[in-house]
Each structure stands twice: as C-alpha cells, then as structure tokens.
C-alpha cells in the first residue's frame, strides 16, 4: 500500500471468491452459491473473476453444520501445515485444500476478496463481519453497501479480539468479508433472508468493479460494533445449563444492555441481571449453533472507525 495526497493506493481486487456452505445447514449461502455455480452471470463484473464455491460439501449433503469439526475455526497455522492426509478430520483436510486453491493464507498469491455467506438463528438482520479495523478496503466497501441499501440496515461487527477471534475460512483472502443474515432456522430457507443476502452481495461486487475501474473513495466514518466479551449460560456444578435468555433480551440483538437489565431467567423463574461496568450491545443472542461453544451471546461496544480515502495503485 502506498500513499500520496492522503489517498491509500491499493492493488485491484481481481480475484474474488464467494463461499457458501462453510456450515452445511445455513441455507441462503448454500442455495445462492449452487445457483451461481450453474449460472454465474449475476455475480460477474468487468475485470473481476468471481468464483462461487461450496466449502464443506459433505456437511451440505448431510445438512449439518459440520462433519468432524467446525470448518470456520479450522484455518489455524497448525491445521494448515498438519501432516496426516486422510487421517486428519474431514474439515482440516478441507481447510488445507481450500488454502491451496484460494491462498496460501497470508501470501501475495492469495485471493483478493472472499465473501463467506452465513445464516444465524439470532435476530441480527444483515451483518457484515470485519476482521481488521486497519482494512480500509473492506471499511470502504462496507460503507458503500450501507449507503446503497439504506434505509434498510446493515451493521458491521468487528472481531479482532485476541482471545475471541477465530481462524475463519475467509481468512485465507487478503480482504476477508463475513456476511451473516438472520433470523433463519438451521436447514430452512426464508425468502426475505435469501433476498437480503443476494442484494448485499450485488452491492459488494458493484463496489469492487467501481474500485477496479479507478473510482476514488473519499475518507469516511463507519460505525462498527467491536466484539468485547463472550457470555455463557449460567450452569450448575456439572456444567448443565440452568437458565435461559431472558424474554426482555431475546431477539434484541444490537439493542443496548445496561447494568441491572434482565439477562437470564432460571428455570424456576428467577431473573439474573447484567452486572457489567457499562452499556454493551449484545448480538448472536441465543444462537443455536453456539450452545456447543458455551456461548449465550457476545457483547459488543459501539465505536466509529475512520476509513482512509482509497484509490487503485
């Protein structure tokens, strides 16, 4: 990245992948990618090679999140370099294959952008997931998408927490973009969620085309929700869940949770209140896939990032 006249000069984004089926029961991405693998006209843009790709075909076939282990946590340096071939868990083998085709992760040969399409059972609406606050290309893209779909809402979740960040399938790319749309039950296709995902991807690809053609994007501010803490369900001494998300919190993703607000309700009707030090914005509330990860929701803090002006080098 070079900079003159305060504009960051970035290389063109020529190679773009669209991943569906990283989790095999999140049906919007699976269905869209399968559609585009048959006919990719909708996702092609001038000067961009857009490749739709099913990341976890065995999980898609079984309509389950994963077969052996969560593919969206599998892209660690240890896994990507692990010997063992067929002896390795299926998703680790798959991570190595994906890294060969779309990476190698962290190298100049890696794909420019990977969009990873996900659904959530939580009431999150449309959420773009950003992995680095320093990725000005992605910040500019997200600003473009937010403006393009207004007055509809699309929020930005920033996860660069050193302990809570995980090794995603999209992290192979130079510019990884997660797209999380809900609420939608696992294994189910809802038309409104499907269309919302499709529209966001359309605007994202439009942005890439405009950038590659030489459009300059001035500096802008982007509101993000920074991942702060993972909150588990209350449990007994044996690790069994003893309370549920409180009705006042259920489906209230992105709404302020203040100290003293109801957070959980025990099975015998008692309320457990939030004891944090200040207002947070919870999300992934009561996500079905996160029971196994011992997570009831994550807390976030709202902040504004400034994206540099960008143009192509």
Q: Is the pLDDT of residue 3 over 80?
A: no
For residue 164, pLDDT over 80 is answered with no
Based on the domain organization, do 209 and 253 belong to the same domain? no
- Residues in a beta bridge with 305: 222
Q: What tens digit of pLDDT does each residue of 130-155 get?
A: 999 999 999 999 999 999 999 999 99
- Is 3 contained in some domain? no
Instruction: Give me the phi and psi of 228, to 5 degrees please.
Output: -115, -50
Residue 121 lies in a domain: yes
Distance (Å, whole) CA 26 – CA 65: 8
Asked if 129 contacts 179 with a C-beta cutoff of 8 angstroms, the reply is: yes
Same domain, 40 and 86: yes
Q: Give the number of residues written for the chain.
A: 313
Please list, in sequence order, all residues whose beta carbon lies within 8 angstroms of the beta carbon of residue 43, skipping any fewer than 6 positions away: 18, 36, 50, 52, 201, 205
Say which CATH number the domain at 31 has: 3.40.630.10
Q: 278 and 207: one domain?
A: no
Q: Give the strand order in the sheet containing 271-273.
A: 243-245, 262-266, 271-273
Please indicate, yes or no, if residue 182 is contained in any of the structural domains.
yes
Q: What is the dihedral of CA 19, 134, 146, 195, to 10 degrees?
A: 10
- Condensed to tens digits (0 to 9), the pLDDT of residues 12-58 reads 999 999 999 999 999 999 999 999 999 999 999 999 999 999 999 99
Question: What average pLDDT does this structure show over 74-99?
Answer: 94
Burial class of 210 by CB neighbour count within 10 A (0 to 12, 13 to 18, 19+): middle
Q: Domain tally for the chain?
A: 2
Detail the residues annotated as belonging to a binding site for Zn(2+): 23, 26, 118
- Please tell me whether residues 141 and 237 are part of one structural domain: no
Residues 282, 257 contacting (CB under 8 angstroms): yes
Structure confidence at residue 1 (pLDDT): 46
Q: Is residue 94 part of a domain?
A: yes
Mean per-residue pLDDT over the chain, rounded: 96
Q: What's the CATH number where 294 sits? A: 2.20.25.160
* pLDDT tens digits for range 274-298: 999 999 999 999 999 999 999 999 9
Residues 148 and 95 in one domain: yes
In a domain, 1, yes or no: no
Check residue 5 and give its pLDDT: 58
13 and 57, same domain (yes or no): yes
DSSP state of 257: B
The answer on 239 and 218 residing in a single domain is no
Options 91, 131, 180, 287, the catalytic residue:
180
Residues 220 and 233 both lie in one domain: no
Would residue 180 show up in a list of annotated catalytic residues for this protein? yes
Helices (H), 150-260: 191-212
Regarding whether 216 and 94 lie in a shared domain, the answer is yes
Instruction: Check: CB of residue 110 under 8 Å from CB of residue 104.
Output: yes
For residue 195, is it within any domain? Answer: yes
Q: Do residues 246 and 202 share a domain?
A: no
Tens of pLDDT, residue by residue over 203-250, are 999 999 999 999 999 999 999 999 999 999 999 999 999 999 999 999
**134 occurs within a structural domain:** yes
Q: Give binding residues as ranges.
A: 23, 26, 65, 72-73, 118, 166-170, 180, 290
* Residues whose CB is less than 8 angstroms from the CB of residue 138 and which lie 6 or more positions away in sequence, other chains included: 130, 132, 175, 176, 177
Instruction: List CB contacts of 162: < 8 A, sequence separation 6 or more.
Output: none
Bridge partners, 297 (sequence order): 231
Phi, psi angles (nearest 5°) of residue 177? -130, 120
Q: Say whether both 143 and 247 belong to one domain.
A: no
Residue 174, in any domain of the structure: yes
Q: Which domain holds residue 77?
A: 8-224+307-312
Residues 52 and 170 in one domain: yes
220/226 Cα distance (integer angstroms): 18
Tell me the C-alpha distance between 275 and 260, whole Å.
6
């Amino acid at each position: 990245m070079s900079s003159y006249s305060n504009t960051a000069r970035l290389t063109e984004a020529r190679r773009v992948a669209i991943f569906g089926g990283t989790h095999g029961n999140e049906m919007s991405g699976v269905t869209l990618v399968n559609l585009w693998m048959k006919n990719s006209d909708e996702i092609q843009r001038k000067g961009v090679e857009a490749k739709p790709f099913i990341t976890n075909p065995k999980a898609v076939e079984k309509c389950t999140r994963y077969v052996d282990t969560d593919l969206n946590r599998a892209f660690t340096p240890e896994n990507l370099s692990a010997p063992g071939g067929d002896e390795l868990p299926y998703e680790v083998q798959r991570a190595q294959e994906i890294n060969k085709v779309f990476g190698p992760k962290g190298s100049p040969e890696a794909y420019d952008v990977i969009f990873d399409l996900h659904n959530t059972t939580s009431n999150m609406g449309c959420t773009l997931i950003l992995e680095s606050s320093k990725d000005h290309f992605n910040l500019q893209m997200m600003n473009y998408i937010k403006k393009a779909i207004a007055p509809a809402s699309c929020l930005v979740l920033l996860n660069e927490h050193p302990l809570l960040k995980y090794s995603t399938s999209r992290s192979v790319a130079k510019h990884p973009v997660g797209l999380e749309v809900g609420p939608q039950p696992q294994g189910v296709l809802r038309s409104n969620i499907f269309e919302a995902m499709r529209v966001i991807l359309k605007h994202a690809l439009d942005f890439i085309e405009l950038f590659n053609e030489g459009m300059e994007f001035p500096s802008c501010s982007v509101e993000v929700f920074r991942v702060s803490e993972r909150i588990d369900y209350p449990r007994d001494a044996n690790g069994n869940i003893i309370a549920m998300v409180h009705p006042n919190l259920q489906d209230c993703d992105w709404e302020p949770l203040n100290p003293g607000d109801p957070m959980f309700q025990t099975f015998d009707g008692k309320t457990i209140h939030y004891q944090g030090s200040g207002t947070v914005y919870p999300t992934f509330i009561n996500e079905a896939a996160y029971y196994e990860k011992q997570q009831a929701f994550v807390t976030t803090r709202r902040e504004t990032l400034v994206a540099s002006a960008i143009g192509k080098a």
